[in-house]
Amino acid sequence: MKIAIAGAGAMGSRFGVMLSRAGNQVILIDQWAAHVQAINEKGLTVDTETGSSQVKLPAYLPADVQEKPELVILFTKSMGLANMLAAIEPILGETTKIVCLLNGLGHVPTLEKYVRKENIFMGVTLWTAGLVGPGHVKLVGNGRVEVQNIDPAGETAAKEICDLFSQAGLNAVYSENVIFSIWRKACVNGTLNTLCTLLDCNIGEFGQLPQAASLLRQIIAEFALVAKATDQVTLTIEPVAQQIEALYDPKQAGLHYPSMYQDLILHHRLTEIDYLNGYVAKKAAELNLATPICQLLTELIHAKEALLVK
Amino acid sequence: MKIAIAGAGAMGSRFGVMLSRAGNQVILIDQWAAHVQAINEKGLTVDTETGSSQVKLPAYLPADVQEKPELVILFTKSMGLANMLAAIEPILGETTKIVCLLNGLGHVPTLEKYVRKENIFMGVTLWTAGLVGPGHVKLVGNGRVEVQNIDPAGETAAKEICDLFSQAGLNAVYSENVIFSIWRKACVNGTLNTLCTLLDCNIGEFGQLPQAASLLRQIIAEFALVAKATDQVTLTIEPVAQQIEALYDPKQAGLHYPSMYQDLILHHRLTEIDYLNGYVAKKAAELNLATPICQLLTELIHAKEALLVK
C-alpha cells in the first residue's frame, strides 16, 4: 500500500520503517528541513537493540509532496496538525484514509476540516521511539497500537488498517472505544507531563512525592468531568490513577522525563498543554463546568513557555 | 527600655541595631548557633550605604536567655514562631509586651497561647534587610512600620511602641487596621513569592508574563474571600493588584527574587507557604469556601519542598 507518514519524528519514523519493511511503499513528510535532507542524502539511520542500519525512504517537506498515498498516518505534534493538513491537502483524495495517532485531545474537528468522516481513523499507541538527531532515530522496546473508525461506515476499513499494521509487527488491535483510550492516555500526559515539567523532576521522583496521589486524582477528576460532558466517555478515577502510578517503577517509566519536560525545560520549545489540561479547561469553560486545577496548570505552563521559549 | 529581639535574622537585627542606637537595652535571640556565637565574639557586623561597623549586642540561643525584657519583638520565620515562643516562655512576664512583625497569616492564635491579648501588638513593616552571613547583616534603604493593639485595652501601649520605634528612626505609625495591612502584605507574598518560586523567575520577569495579571487577581480574589470570612477584612482586588504590579519596576522590586525563592530554590529550605496561600486554603476548607488556586499552589510548593529540601 502507498503510505505517507505525515510528521516523521521518532514515532512517525518507527511506523514508516516497520511498514516499509513489511513491503509497503512509504514516504516520510516532515517540516524539519535538516531531517528531510539527511534522510534523502544518507537514508534514515535506525538504531535498535541489535545494531544500526540505514533505511532508504523518500522524505519531503509538507509543501513538496506530489505522490498521492492511499493512507496517511498523522504523527505531528498536536500544535502542528492543522498546518500539516493544510500543507498536504493537495495529496488528500476522496478515498485517502487518515489515521491520527497524535497524543492529546480535540483533534477530530481539525481532521474533519480536511477529510470526510468515514475516512478518519483514530488511534492510540504505546510504542515508543527516540530522535537522536536529523535523519537518525532509536527504536527499542515493544509496543502496540489500537485503531478505530469514528464513523460507523468505517469499521471494515479500520480492521483492514489494523491488519496492515499487525503484518508490519506493530501489534494492532481494533478498538471498541478508541475515544476512551485517547482520554485515558491524555490523563497520563495531563498529569505526569504537566506536573514533572512544573516541578522539574522525572516520573519516578514525582511518584515519590507525598502530594502525588492527590494531585493525580484531582486532575483525573477534571478530565473525567469533561470526557463525560463532551464525548460521553466514562473515566473512573481510581483505575486510571493506578495505571499511571504503575509507571513510577524505574523498570517502567520511572527514570523518564516526559516529552513535555524535554520540549520545554530541555529544548525551550512550546508544549502540547493546550491539547491536554488546556483542552479540558477550555471545553469546561464552554460548558460552564469548573476545572480550576487544569486551568491553573495550563496558565502556569504557558507562563513557563513565555519565560523559556525564544 | 529592655527589648528582646526574638528572631534576629536580617530584619530582627535591623530593629535591634536601630533601637540600641536610640538608647535602649537590646538583646538578640536566635536559634542559629553560628550567628549567635559570631555576634557574641565579634559584635554584629553592619554594612550600610556609608560603610561597615561592629555593633556590640548580647546574643542568646532561645533556651539560654535569662533577662526579662519589657518588650519582645518577634521576627522569626512563620514556621519558627511557635518554637520560639515555647523556648522564651520563661522570660515572658505578666506585663511583657509582644510585637509580632512576621510575614504571613494566622499568627494571633499562636501568640495568644503564650501572651495575654492586651499585651499582643501586631505590625507590618516595609523595611528591608539582608543577611550576609553569621553575625553579618546589610542594612540599606528606608522603610516604615505600622503597629496596632489587637485588644482595645492596648491602644495607648501601641502608640507608645510607635513612639519608641520612631525615636529609633523606624518611622512607625499607629495603624487603625493592622489586620487589613497584614492581609494586604500577605497578598504580595502569596502572589509574587509563590509564583516566582514555581516559575523560577524574578519579580520583574514575572511581571512581563502575559499570564501575570490574571494569576494575580485570581489569587487575590481567594485571599479576599477568606479575609472577609475570617477577619471581616475587605480586600478590594484591583487596588491590591495594582499595588503589587507597581513592584515590577526594576527601580522597585523588579530585579529581586522573593524570599520564598531564596529559601527554597537557592537554599533548599522550607517555605512559609502554609502561612500564605496554605493558610487561605486551610481556612477556606474549614469554612466550606472554594479556594482551588491557593490549594493547588500550596500543594505544588510543598511538592517542590519534598524534592529540594534535604
Distance CA B90, CA A202 (A): 48
- The answer to whether residue B303 neighbours chain A at the CB level (below 8 Å) is yes
Residue A281: per-residue pLDDT: 98
* Residue A297 with chain B: CB contacts under 8 Å: 296
**Contact call for residues A202 and A175 (beta carbons, < 8 A):** no
- The answer to whether residue A285 neighbours chain B at the CB level (below 8 Å) is no
Inter-chain contacts counted by CB atoms under 8 A, chains A and B: 67
Instruction: Render the burial of B38-60: b for 16+ CB within 10 Å, e for the rest.
Output: bbbeeebbbeeeeeeeebebebb
A310 assigned to active site: no
Judged against a pLDDT cut of 90, whether residue B183 lies above it is answered with: yes
Residue A128: per-residue pLDDT: 87
**Contact call for residues A98 and A72 (beta carbons, < 8 A):** yes
Contact B296 A299 (CB under 8 A): no
- The answer to whether residue B293 neighbours chain A at the CB level (below 8 Å) is yes
* Residue B195 with chain A: CB contacts under 8 Å: 303
- The answer to whether residue B198 neighbours chain A at the CB level (below 8 Å) is yes
Judged against a pLDDT cut of 90, whether residue A90 lies above it is answered with: yes
Confidence label for B2 from pLDDT (cuts 50, 70 and 90): very high
Contact A210 B302 (CB under 8 A): yes
Q: Report the range of poorest mean pLDDT among A80-89, A246-255, B77-86, B209-218.
A: A246-255
pLDDT digits (tens, 9 = 90+) for A111-156: 999 999 999 999 999 898 889 999 999 998 899 999 999 999 999 9
Judged against a pLDDT cut of 90, whether residue A310 lies above it is answered with: no
Hey, where are the domains in chain B? Answer: 2-176, 179-308
In percent, how much of chain A has pLDDT > 70?
100
Determine the residue type at A155.
E
- The answer to whether residue B299 neighbours chain A at the CB level (below 8 Å) is yes
Contact B304 A199 (CB under 8 A): yes
Contact B293 A292 (CB under 8 A): yes
Fold of B179-308: N-(1-d-carboxylethyl)-l-norvaline Dehydrogenase; domain 2 (1.10.1040)
Residue B310: per-residue pLDDT: 86
Confidence label for B128 from pLDDT (cuts 50, 70 and 90): confident
Q: What pTM does this model have? A: 0.93
Q: From the CA of B102, how many Å to the nearest CA of chain A? A: 28
Contact B296 A293 (CB under 8 A): yes
Determine the residue type at A33.
A
B252 vs B43: which has the higher pLDDT: B43
Residue A89: per-residue pLDDT: 96
- The answer to whether residue A214 neighbours chain B at the CB level (below 8 Å) is yes
The Cα-based distances of B295 to A114, A293, B273 in angstroms read 43, 9, 10
Contact A307 B199 (CB under 8 A): yes
Residue A258: per-residue pLDDT: 93
Q: Which of A231, A145, A162, A226 is nearest to A190 (CA)?
A: A226
**Contact call for residues A21 and A87 (beta carbons, < 8 A):** no
* Residue A208 with chain B: CB contacts under 8 Å: 306
Contact B303 A211 (CB under 8 A): yes
* Residue A305 with chain B: CB contacts under 8 Å: none
| Sheet hosting strand A136-138, strand order edge to edge | A51-55, A44-48, A136-138, A130-133
* Residue B212 with chain A: CB contacts under 8 Å: 303
Q: Which of A41, A32, A38, A34 is nearest to A84 (CA)?
A: A32
| pLDDT (average), residues B265-294 | 97
**Contact call for residues A28 and A7 (beta carbons, < 8 A):** no
pLDDT digits (tens, 9 = 90+) for A269-297: 999 999 999 999 999 999 999 999 999 99
- The answer to whether residue A292 neighbours chain B at the CB level (below 8 Å) is yes
Superfamily of domain B2-176: NAD(P)-binding Rossmann-like Domain (3.40.50.720)
ipTM of the prediction: 0.90
A171 burial via Cβ count (<10 Å: 0-12, 13-18, 19+): middle
| pLDDT (average), residues B34-49 | 97
- The answer to whether residue A305 neighbours chain B at the CB level (below 8 Å) is no
CA atoms within 13 A on the CB side of A9: 16
pLDDT digits (tens, 9 = 90+) for B139-178: 988 999 999 999 999 999 999 999 999 999 999 999 999 9
Residue B199: per-residue pLDDT: 98
In percent, how much of chain A has pLDDT > 90?
96
Residue A4: per-residue pLDDT: 98
